[in-house]
Structure 1
Amino acid sequence: MWRWPGAVLRRSNSSIRSTLGLLVVLTVLVSGLASVTTGARTAVERELLRSGGLTQLDVSSLETGRAVRELDAENLDRVRDVAHVVEAVPDHVSSIYTGSADPNAPTFDLTTHSWRPSTRPTIVRGEVPRPLRPGQLVLPVHGSGVDFNRFVGEELPVAYTRATGERSGTPAHTTFEVVATYDPGWRFDGPDTAYVAPETAAVLAAAKAGMSPERYRSTTGATSAVVSVSEQRNVPTVVEKLRELGFSASPVADRVRNLPGVLGAAELGYRIGILVVLAVAVLTGSSSARSGLHHRFSELAVPRIPGDSVSGIRRIPLGGTVLTGLLAGVVGGTAGFGGALLLRGSLERLLGLEVGVTDMLPSPLWGAALVLAPPIGLAVGALLGGHVALRRDPHTPARSQA
């Protein structure tokens, strides 16, 4: 009986090659998506744990589709008054740029953000005091083409815009003490970002708006704020209460569930992709089995007449089919993971986080499902296809050979 699978396999090389090629391509795509998404999720989860993000909320002054409360001084006090809230640190966005006419001074233009509880980049040089004090500055190692490492521990002259009219302004000059530099790969607030104390960030933003800091806080307010909660179990309660008060609030941990842009689609894509691979394998296995058995019916009918069972003949294509599917799963899974590794640098730049090689390995369960989906699908398809093909009367081709 085992001579029959060999005959079928030898005479179906073209069909097997096309089947293998199709399943390998599909498996490569699914494996690559799974690896990229797993790497992103692992990196963000690690960052959340490291920064205490599981006990933090993001509160924004903007939300598409409905009005929300602005984060002015009065509303921030309302946030702080909610039970279980420990602190609420506002983020005021502005900018600083070259502040010296000295031709040897660095030329730069950096966006400024408040240093918040969720701000946890990898520090390269220096140390960030807790809390960051007014007049202190944390810079990227490289920004605007400047190496800021050499300024750590020194005073850096900077300029910022002070509005003088509706569409006019003049540079104002000050100096900051550069206390640390961070890895510019960390980009939760975008590239070329400088961090200052929340009080300083409000002063810079107020000057750009042409207001005093007090008026700016009480009218325009912050663009967002990070709210720290006493315990993780209190986070849902605080989120619900803030939303009842009209604030746009969400747990920082939602960054894991709502990965940015393409990554969110990739996560859904690889989950659906497993089912697609399985479905395509079933259809391909069924089609190949029907085609192969019909073309060789005259050969297969002969061994069936002496007493071979229908189930035995139906299993003839399984040997080559399962091997083909297993090969497709292993080759496609390995190639997909290798392709995902080539995208690791782009993924790190997108997330602003370090993504390790092992971070991109899918869970053992998903890995096994990916490798086994092609052989299982092909085997099921071959059995179904063989069942359809063997409904034909085996005696007719046998008599035609007599």
Structure 2
Amino acid sequence: MNLLQVAWWNVRTLRRRLLGLVAMVAVAGAVCLSAIGIASNAQGTTTSQVGESTANRSVTVDSPEGRPDTAQLTDATEQRLAKIAHVVSVQHRLQVSMPVRDNPEGADLLYATTYRKALAPPVVKSVRKQLFPLHRGEVVFPAATHGVDLSSMVGRTVTVDAHHYVRPGVGDTVSDRVKVVGLYDPGWQFDGPDTAYVDDATVVKWAAAAAGKTTDDYLRTSGWDQLTVVADSAAHVPGVLKTVQKMNYPAVALQQQLEALPGVLQLVALTGNVLLGVLGVLAFAGAVTVTGALGRQRAQEVGILKAVGFRGRSVTGMLVAEMAIAGAVAAAAGVVLAVGVAGAAAAGLRRIGDIAPYVHDTVPLPSLPTMVSLSVATVVVVAAGAVLPARRAARMSPTEAMKDW
């Protein structure tokens, strides 16, 4: 008969005495696993939705005004930037004034701007499901501007006046017709207030007319007023930004404005680590308390074992094995309980509007390797907590043990 068999029989016999330890460790383990699962789920979702979002992977390059030795943001420049390592796309922006002549709502001046996928405006109303890219002669207005509600403009065709350069100091107006196909949230002002998103060809045509050039000549000489360089991952943004700046272009990364994000993600991860520490302390303290109490209560049993030839090492091993088995049962019960706790917690969190997007999994539990590692760690901690009380009990002589009983 080996020690594990004896320990298993003792655990079955003493199950009522061990119930408190098992329940405490199981509940602590369930709370810990469910919290880590929810935190990991939220952290992963945050990293993918924010940390690795297109906006957080973008570098904004402005026109090099006042730098005569630096080429303008032409198509050639766009192609050069696209060849930088880890760059997946370069998106251009051009903006030109767009007076609206027959706007019945009274908002008469907007700024026609090309659309960039990396910084897409939040559409609140549109004539079709997939609004972008825009077709020729289409425009997206802000839902409100200058205190004027433009919600009734969707579907209407309006006349806009584009400036046409004739010669220095002389110009005229060229009218054009565009259709309002959508509205976006006016709080979105990455391209400035009073922005209207228009298809690229139309914006370039108006900008070229204002400069007195053909569209081809305009793109070759004047170019875009801003470019957005998108990296393949957030980790490569600093390198891309440094390369662009070395080319003497003024450039900034939106990632620089989200410096607090890594700290938030680390805080989420730290919460899980703190819970792990709490679980370890509870399991260790519980094992010390229960093993010490059982050692005193079972003094006669220890004395008999010593009297029939059991060595102190064998007695210590048996008592530690009992606690390890109790820890294993508690860890298994904690995993089962964690499924219910995590599922209930996730269901509650999904009812909170601001938190719901970050809790996708029905039962957000840690990965299988993490759960196995935590379960093994629980058994080890419980067993470690039993070592000192078990050694004290095993050091008693048979006479002293029988006397204490």
Question: Where does residue 169 of structure 1 map in the other structure?
Answer: none
Question: 1:389 Cα shift?
Answer: 1.5
Question: 1:263 Cα shift?
Answer: 5.6
Question: Where does residue 167 of structure 1 map in the other structure?
Answer: none
Deviations 1:21-65 (A, max 9, x none): 5444444433222222223344469975xxxx99x842255xxxx
Equivalent AA in structure 2 for residue 59 of structure 1: T
Equivalent AA in structure 2 for residue 292 of structure 1: V
Question: Where does residue 316 of structure 1 map in the other structure?
Answer: 322
Summarize the alignment of residues 153-302 of structure 1 with structure 2, pairs less than 5 Å apart: 153-155=155-157, 176-180=178-182, 195-197=197-199, 225-227=227-229, 239-247=241-249, 264-302=262-300
Question: Where does residue 385 of structure 1 map in the other structure?
Answer: 385
Q: Aligned pair in 2 of structure 1 residues 36, 99: CA closer, same or farther (>3 Å)?
A: farther
Equivalent AA in structure 2 for residue 381 of structure 1: V
CA distance in structure 2 between the aligned counterparts of 1:59 and 1:12, rounded to whole angstroms:
63
Question: Where does residue 59 of structure 1 map in the other structure?
Answer: 60
| 1:76 partner SS | coil
Question: 1:125 Cα shift?
Answer: 3.3
> Aligned pair 1:398/2:401, yes or no?
yes
Is the Cα–Cα contact under 8 Å of residues 42 and 359 in structure 2 kept in the other structure?
Answer: no
| 1:118 partner SS | helix
CA distance in structure 2 between the aligned counterparts of 1:339 and 1:71, rounded to whole angstroms:
56
Summarize the alignment of residues 46-195 of structure 1 with structure 2, pairs less than 5 Å apart: 57-60=58-61, 75-77=72-74, 79-80=77-78, 82=80, 84=82, 88-90=91-93, 105=105, 114-119=114-119, 125-126=127-128, 128=131, 130=133, 133=136, 136-138=138-140, 148=151, 151-155=153-157, 176-180=178-182, 195=197
> Aligned pair 1:38/2:39, yes or no?
no
**Bigger mean CA offset, 289-298 vs 302-311:** 302-311
| 2:371 partner SS | helix
**Bigger mean CA offset, 289-298 vs 373-382:** 373-382
CA distance in structure 1 between the aligned counterparts of 2:359 and 2:153, rounded to whole angstroms:
30
CA distance in structure 2 between the aligned counterparts of 1:382 and 1:200, rounded to whole angstroms:
72
Q: Aligned pair in 2 of structure 1 residues 286, 89: CA closer, same or farther (>3 Å)?
A: same
Question: 1:115 Cα shift?
Answer: 0.8
Question: 1:292 Cα shift?
Answer: 0.6
Deviations 1:328-375 (A, max 9, x none): 3424543454355334x4258xxxxx87945x887x8x4225534543
CA distance in structure 2 between the aligned counterparts of 1:311 and 1:32, rounded to whole angstroms:
38
Deviations 1:81-107 (A, max 9, x none): 63645855136599999985x6xx599
Is the Cα–Cα contact under 8 Å of residues 34 and 266 in structure 1 kept in the other structure?
Answer: no
CA distance in structure 1 between the aligned counterparts of 2:150 and 2:333, rounded to whole angstroms:
50
Is the Cα–Cα contact under 8 Å of residues 325 and 378 in structure 1 kept in the other structure?
Answer: yes
CA distance in structure 2 between the aligned counterparts of 1:95 and 1:377, rounded to whole angstroms:
67
Equivalent AA in structure 1 for residue 388 of structure 2: V
Question: Where does residue 334 of structure 1 map in the other structure?
Answer: 343
Question: 1:309 Cα shift?
Answer: 3.8
Question: Where does residue 172 of structure 2 map in the other structure?
Answer: none
CA distance in structure 1 between the aligned counterparts of 2:100 and 2:388, rounded to whole angstroms:
75
Is the Cα–Cα contact under 8 Å of residues 110 and 192 in structure 1 kept in the other structure?
Answer: yes
| 1:391 partner SS | helix
Is the Cα–Cα contact under 8 Å of residues 40 and 355 in structure 1 kept in the other structure?
Answer: yes
Q: Identical aligned pairs, as a percentage?
A: 15
| 1:115 partner SS | coil
Is the Cα–Cα contact under 8 Å of residues 59 and 225 in structure 1 kept in the other structure?
Answer: yes
Q: Where in structure 2 are there 5+ consecutive unaligned residues? A: 1-5, 84-88, 162-175, 213-220
Is the Cα–Cα contact under 8 Å of residues 278 and 373 in structure 1 kept in the other structure?
Answer: no
Question: Where does residue 168 of structure 2 map in the other structure?
Answer: none
Q: Aligned pair in 2 of structure 1 residues 389, 117: CA closer, same or farther (>3 Å)?
A: same
CA distance in structure 1 between the aligned counterparts of 2:318 and 2:194, rounded to whole angstroms:
69
Equivalent AA in structure 1 for residue 78 of structure 2: R
CA distance in structure 2 between the aligned counterparts of 1:28 and 1:299, rounded to whole angstroms:
36
Q: Aligned pair in 2 of structure 1 residues 97, 336: CA closer, same or farther (>3 Å)?
A: farther
CA distance in structure 1 between the aligned counterparts of 2:194 and 2:16, rounded to whole angstroms:
62
Question: Where does residue 375 of structure 2 map in the other structure?
Answer: 375
Question: 1:294 Cα shift?
Answer: 1.1
Question: Where does residue 165 of structure 2 map in the other structure?
Answer: none
Is the Cα–Cα contact under 8 Å of residues 310 and 390 in structure 1 kept in the other structure?
Answer: yes
| 2:180 partner SS | strand
| 1:342 partner SS | coil
Question: Where does residue 166 of structure 2 map in the other structure?
Answer: none
Question: Where does residue 17 of structure 2 map in the other structure?
Answer: 11
Q: Aligned pair in 2 of structure 1 residues 19, 229: CA closer, same or farther (>3 Å)?
A: closer
CA distance in structure 2 between the aligned counterparts of 1:31 and 1:92, rounded to whole angstroms:
46
Equivalent AA in structure 2 for residue 380 of structure 1: V
Q: Aligned pair in 2 of structure 1 residues 29, 355: CA closer, same or farther (>3 Å)?
A: closer
Is the Cα–Cα contact under 8 Å of residues 324 and 379 in structure 2 kept in the other structure?
Answer: yes
CA distance in structure 2 between the aligned counterparts of 1:26 and 1:93, rounded to whole angstroms:
56
CA distance in structure 2 between the aligned counterparts of 1:265 and 1:293, rounded to whole angstroms:
41
CA distance in structure 2 between the aligned counterparts of 1:312 and 1:189, rounded to whole angstroms:
69
Q: Aligned pair in 2 of structure 1 residues 34, 131: CA closer, same or farther (>3 Å)?
A: same
